[in-house]
Copies of this chain bind each other. A is one copy, B any other.
């Protein structure tokens, strides 16, 4: 089945202590869509300006991503520029030019409105609501978010939590949302706010699922060298949704393996700038790392 992915489509200029890479393909929806495309057909909803490089449209297409929902507007594509510190754990934003993204209103082509799997990738909660308002009874809806929305759009986000099946956030956002330091206590609080499934991302420490079948402790793939972590969280959730949409049977029976597949796509994402490494991955390489994760966690 196909996955509908709505989020930001951007150009990222990324500086690390070792390199500088201007105008890479970025944005939550770009990372998530490429990650999901390894497993399922993807429908992308986003907006870019008329300066958006053709090579990036070709890149989407090479991944079989349906672009009927990608708006191309007069003006500039959303441009984000950031710099990582030596340890790659801390980053600071150097520049944010919203461009055409400032007035983005996601419009779902008719064919998308019945999509069974929906990923509301990181984007303003009001826009995530707007997407759901256009949908007909999706089978499984997951939303991602970021600290910005907890700061400036908390009400919208809290309302959204009652409309989705799964919620994905990182550990510091979980703390910010619940004021709980303990991640398992935070998970309990977040369930009370609505979602049946809650996933807390912990970067190189992996992630934790809480759902009707209890907890799942999902490992991160061991990487002795991280080149650029930008988009790793989006790749994780994108890979997860792509795998879920491809797997027959109940969500509960597939979600753990879906997270593992997301984790593996995210590991490749971290090994190159932007989508450079992810786009070169094969299904066979993904399957190999899934197998390795099985061996790395077995006891």
Instruction: Assess A214 versus B296: contact at CB under 8 Å? Given A183-B204, A205-B202.
Output: yes
- C-alpha gap A216/B297 in the complex (Å): 6
Number of residues on chain A facing chain B (CB within 8 A)? 36
- C-alpha gap A296/B211 in the complex (Å): 12
Which one, A51-59, A72-80, A85-93, A142-150, is touching chain B? A85-93
Q: Is the CB of B226 within 8 A of A222?
A: no
| Contact among B185, B205, B226, B260 with A182 in the assembled complex (CB-CB below 8 Å) | B226
**Contact residues in B for A295 (Cβ distance below 8 Å):** 214
**Contact residues in B for A296 (Cβ distance below 8 Å):** 214-217
- C-alpha gap A297/B209 in the complex (Å): 11
Instruction: Say yes or no: is A95 at the interface (Cβ < 8 Å to chain B).
Output: no
**Contact residues in B for A218 (Cβ distance below 8 Å):** 299
Residue of B nearest to A221 (CB): B217
Q: Is the CB of A184 within 8 A of B88?
A: no
- C-alpha gap A219/B183 in the complex (Å): 14
| Contact among B181, B202, B219, B223 with A86 in the assembled complex (CB-CB below 8 Å) | B181
Interface of A is mostly: mixed
Instruction: Say yes or no: is A298 at the interface (Cβ < 8 Å to chain B).
Output: yes
Instruction: Say yes or no: is A256 at the interface (Cβ < 8 Å to chain B).
Output: yes
Q: Is the CB of B185 within 8 A of A224?
A: yes
Instruction: Say yes or no: is A18 at the interface (Cβ < 8 Å to chain B).
Output: no
- C-alpha gap A208/B219 in the complex (Å): 11
Cβ of A220 to closest chain B Cβ, rounded Å: 8
Give residues of chain A (279-299) contacting chain B, Cβ–Cβ below 8 Å.
294-299
Q: Is the CB of A225 within 8 A of B181?
A: no
Residue of B nearest to A295 (CB): B214
Q: Is the CB of A299 within 8 A of B205?
A: no
Cβ of A227 to closest chain B Cβ, rounded Å: 11
Cβ of A250 to closest chain B Cβ, rounded Å: 15
Q: Is the CB of A181 within 8 A of B217?
A: no
Q: Is the CB of B185 within 8 A of A299?
A: no
Cβ of A295 to closest chain B Cβ, rounded Å: 7
Instruction: Say yes or no: is A23 at the interface (Cβ < 8 Å to chain B).
Output: no
- C-alpha gap A208/B296 in the complex (Å): 10
Instruction: Say yes or no: is A63 at the interface (Cβ < 8 Å to chain B).
Output: no
Q: Is the CB of B181 within 8 A of A87?
A: yes
Would you list 26 pairs from A and B whose C-beta atoms are within 8 A, ordered by A residue? A86-B181, A87-B181, A88-B181, A182-B225, A182-B226, A183-B204, A184-B222, A184-B223, A184-B224, A185-B224, A185-B225, A188-B224, A202-B205, A205-B205, A205-B206, A206-B217, A214-B295, A215-B222, A215-B296, A216-B297, A217-B219, A257-B299, A259-B299, A260-B299, A294-B299, A297-B297
